[in-house]
Structure 1
Amino acid sequence: MSTYRAEEPALDWAPPPGRMLQRELDARGISQAELAARAGLSTKHVNLVIKGNASLSSDVAVTLEQVLGTPAEFWLSLEAAYQAQEIRAQRRESLASYSEWASKFPRDLLVARRVINARDAATEIVAKLLSLFRVASPSAFEKTWLEPQASYKRSQLHQIDPYLTALWLRLAEIEADDLLTNAAPYDPDALREVAAKLPPLTTMEIADGFREAQRLLLGAGVALVFIPEISSTRICGVSRWVGGHPIIAVTSRYKTFDSFWFTLLHEIAHILMHPRRSTYIDFTGKAQDNTDARESDANSFAEETLIPSAIRSRVIAATTPEEIVNIADHLGISAGVVAGQRAFLTNDWGGAIAKLRSRGDLETELGQVQSQGAWDA
């Protein structure tokens, strides 16, 4: 899947427009004094412009167009490029003071996720982080990425690293952007239909099931993305809005695949049932937090979608793997999902039935699932 790639720096050199003006005068054999006379400007002002001590204004640009026949847009574009270069240089001087902020993001992680290059200097790392988060300063980062975390709805709240949480969320946004270029408008009715189609996908290989879920959700205007876990975030799944589209992002934290499918449906429920623009972060594979009504609602939606309440008593009463397999065949879903739901309903997480729950590393299993490009973990 695509990953943020460190951008090449902007060009560091733009000639002062006065230098180009002097070359033009030399080519034509016109002195500064003669240009001043023709343009109705003082010789001193012409000299200041040529030396770069005075900016080349729109009025002077139009005057040069009249006198030299060179379009005003040419001179103004030179002036704009030169001024931008100067501001960039001033901004780079301030980047060194942001190095402590940048140190909140482990260098090895930034290299692995291709946010920076291995040989980048401290100021380059700062510049690329600011560019990644689309902010101008650490204080702007705090207002844009840290302060909103206080209002995020969290299941099973843990102490987490807010900086790395922001990094993971931003990488998820970038991944979703790739998908959303081809997304249909968000349609809640279509999303409900997609949710009903997900349980049969649990019988597929996890990579194939993920890919098909991704395709179906995109048709409802929802981007499903996979971003490898970042240590100290504890995130399993997130539902949030980017522009006019909801996105669901999942990590490699799941150890059993039925937990992945449960949380996917849990996040779909948040999108369908709860306020737009909210961000919901889940930290456990089961996404359980019965003290929060929204979390309970989302759990109930996922449970009912996977195993209708009319069947639940059979699941609870099952004592052998064979019975679980029979129920799964009847429902058209994987035995691992039924086994996982039974474990939750009975609080019995061991025994022969538990072995039906397929296990694996999503980072490995989904390594070949690509939207565009490839991700590096």
Structure 2
Amino acid sequence: MTSYIAQDASFDYAPRPGRILQRELDERSISQAQLAARTGLSTKHINLVIKGTAPLSPDFAVMLEQVLGTSAETWSRLDASYQTRQAREHKRKGLADHVDWANTFPRRVLIERAVISQTDTGAEVAEKLLKFFGVVSKKAFEKTWLEPQASYKRSQLHKIDGNLTALWLRLSELHAADPIRSAPPFDSAKLRLAAEAMPQLTLQPIKIAFREAQRLLLEAGVVLVFVPEVPDTRISGVSRWITGTPMIAVTSRYKSLDGLWFTILHEIAHVLFHPKRSTFVDHGLKADDDADSQELVANKFAATHLIPPAFNEALASATKPAEIRAIASELEVSPSIVAGQWAHRTQIWGGPIGKLRETVDLADALS
């Protein structure tokens, strides 16, 4: 006698278990009433299972194993697959309610960042967005990604798009996921040593320097990643703790060598001095616009690592590019770093000294 299901069968679709059960009964010329008698269950219950109105319980699966000879595990897998498919269908129908929410995200940005594909529309976009953010609904997205933004430390100079900020933060998490899993425990002493080594890295080509910075920070248990800026987020860097590991993510917002290294050191300071629960979203050299004490501490840390206080007087009196280069030579850092700090302190961003500020784009350098 041929069975419609084999022992330990696996299915690439999810048939209704009751439909398979009825075929098995028909093959054996067993009526629903007879199955009820053999199992001690009511005929009504057997009928409900066959119609799919009632689930095929583990107890019933064991009974079917004894009566029909097909393993309980097979029946249970059939029912679990069917119930999962039904749940997915129910969820898919509910995606229609999320289409308007999904449309608040710029489609071009989602395609560029590989969150969705060019052909995705409507519910497909909503489904991929929810999966990308690791949530099941718009409400869950707002609670997980938007509400915490109220406590982020960040400049308020510009109006910020909360959805796109969440998008960039999620991208940074995903970029950092693999190194975070293998990162050693955080070591503040090693992080301080790494910070001291950063200024000398500015003399190297940016690709080599950034990779070396990543290596030094990872030895201290800190993950450094680069994620290109998302429009309307105005983010130059972020520091946050993910599953006990600090992550620093930077953009190329200002495309300047001095701005990039200032941002990295600024975020290192947040990791060293501020609570693990805090997330700091910064936009670079103007991060003190908030007049926030923690931002000021991070700014001072970055500035003094790039230009030690002993050189403040020489920097203040410098008026020519040659003097900037001389300070850089003595410090063994790039003239771009000294020129950037000079510009920040004098608020003179152009002119001959301003031309010493080197332009860099990590997106090109690391590609």
Q: Would you say 1:210 and 2:210 are equivalent positions?
A: yes
Q: Deviations over 1:141-195 (max 9, x none)?
A: 1111111111111135421111111111111111111221221112222211111
After TM superposition, the score normalised by the length of structure 2 is 0.92
Q: Deviations for 1:304-360, whole angstroms, at most 9, x for unmatched residues? A: 111110122112222322222222122121111011111122333222222211013
Give the count of matched residue pairs. 357
What are the within-5 Å matches in structure 2 for residues 258-337 of structure 1? 258-289=258-289, 291-337=291-337
CA deviations over 1:285-310 (Å, ceiling 9, x no partner): 45333711111100111111111101
- The equivalent of 1:6 in structure 2 is none
Structure having greater relative contact order (Cα 8 Å, sep ≥ 6):
1
With over 3 angstroms needed to count, the CA separation of the structure-2 counterparts of 1:12 and 1:146, relative to structure 1, is farther
Distance in 2 of aligned mates of 1:364 and 1:44: 69
Partner Cα separation in structure 1 for residue 306 and residue 92 of structure 2: 54
In structure 1, the residue matched to 2:70 is 70
- SS of 1:298's equivalent in the other structure is helix
Instruction: Provide the C-alpha distance between the structure 2 equivalents of 1:71 and 1:103, rounded to a whole number of angstroms.
Output: 48
1: CA distance, partners of 2:193 / 2:31: 76
Q: Distance in 2 between matches of 1:254 and 1:107?
A: 25
C-alpha contact (below 8 Å) 1:156/1:282 kept by paired residues: no
Is the 1:263–1:286 contact (alpha carbons within 8 Å) kept by the matching residues of 2? no
Residues 254/301 of structure 1: CA separation in 2 closer, same or farther (3 Å cut): same
2:248 maps to a residue whose letter is I
Following the alignment from structure 1 to structure 2, what is the Cα–Cα distance between the partners of residues 310 and 286? 23
Cα shift at 1:28: 4.5
Report the Cα offset of residue 33 of structure 1.
3.5
Say yes or no: does 1:90 pair with 2:90. yes
Is the 2:225–2:248 Cα contact (8 Å) retained in structure 1? yes
- The answer to whether 1:120 aligns with 2:120 is yes
Equivalent residue number for residue 247 of structure 1: 247
The one-letter amino acid paired with 1:332 is: E
> Is 1:142 the equivalent of 2:142?
yes
2:302 counterpart letter in structure 1: A
Highest CA radius of gyration, 1 or 2?
Answer: 2
Normalising by structure 1, we get a TM-score of 0.89
Alpha-carbon contact 1:180-1:223 (below 8 Å) kept: yes
Distance in 1, Cα, partners of 2:293 & 2:309: 19
Q: Is the 8 A contact 1:49 1:56 kept in 2?
A: yes
Which residue does 2:7 correspond to in 1? none
Q: How far apart are the structure 2 equivalents of 1:108 and 1:345?
A: 38
Question: Which residues of structure 2 form unaligned runs of 5+?
Answer: 1-10
Name the amino acid aligned to 1:161. Answer: D
CA contact under 8 A between 1:157 and 1:283: conserved in structure 2? no
Distance 1:29 1:214 in 2: 70
Could you tell which deviates more after superposition, 263-272 or 248-257? 248-257
Give the aligned partner of residue 3 of structure 1: none
In the other structure, the counterpart of 2:105 is 105
Bigger mean CA deviation after superposition, 61-70 or 115-124: 61-70
2:356 counterpart SS class: coil
With 63-72 and 107-116 compared, the bigger mean Cα shift is at 63-72
Task: Give the secondary structure class of the aligned counterpart of 1:87.
Answer: helix
| CA distance, structure 2, for counterparts of residue 228 and residue 18 of structure 1 | 52
Is 2:154–2:287's contact at 8 Å kept on the other side of the alignment? no
- SS at 2:47 equivalent: helix
Query: Residue type of the partner of 2:328?
Result: A
In structure 2, C-alpha distance between the alignment counterparts of 1:105 and 1:254, rounded to whole Å: 24
Give 1:116 deviation, angstroms: 0.8
1:288 is paired with a residue whose SS is: helix
Tell me if the contact between 1:248 and 1:267 (Cα under 8 Å) persists in the aligned partners.
yes
Considering only aligned residues, what root-mean-square deviation do their CA atoms show, in Å?
1.9
- Aligned AA for 1:22? Q
Distance of 2:223 and 2:23 partners within structure 1: 54
Residue number in structure 1 paired with 2:153: 153
Residue 353 (structure 2) aligns with: 353
Quote the offset at 1:284 in angstroms. Answer: 3.6
Gap change, CA 1:56 and 1:206, over 3 Å in 2: same
CA distance in 2, matches of 1:351, 1:151: 39
Question: Partners in 2 of 1:34 and 1:12 — Cα distance?
Answer: 31
Asked if structure 2 preserves the Cα contact closer than 8 Å seen for 1:17 and 1:52, the reply is yes
* Percentage of pairs with the same residue: 58
**Unaligned residue ranges in structure 1 (runs of 5+):** 1-10, 369-377
Determine the structure 1 residue equivalent to 2:51: 51
Partners of 2:220 and 2:27 in 1: how far apart?
63
1:233 aligned residue: 233
Letter in 1 for 2:287: A
Aligned to 2:197: 197
Partner of 2:177: 177
Cα distance in 1 for residues equivalent to 2:137 and 2:289: 36
The residue aligned with 1:80 is: 80
Q: Distance in 2 between matches of 1:255 and 1:156?
A: 21
Aligned twin of 1:188: 188
Partner AA of 1:225 in structure 2: V
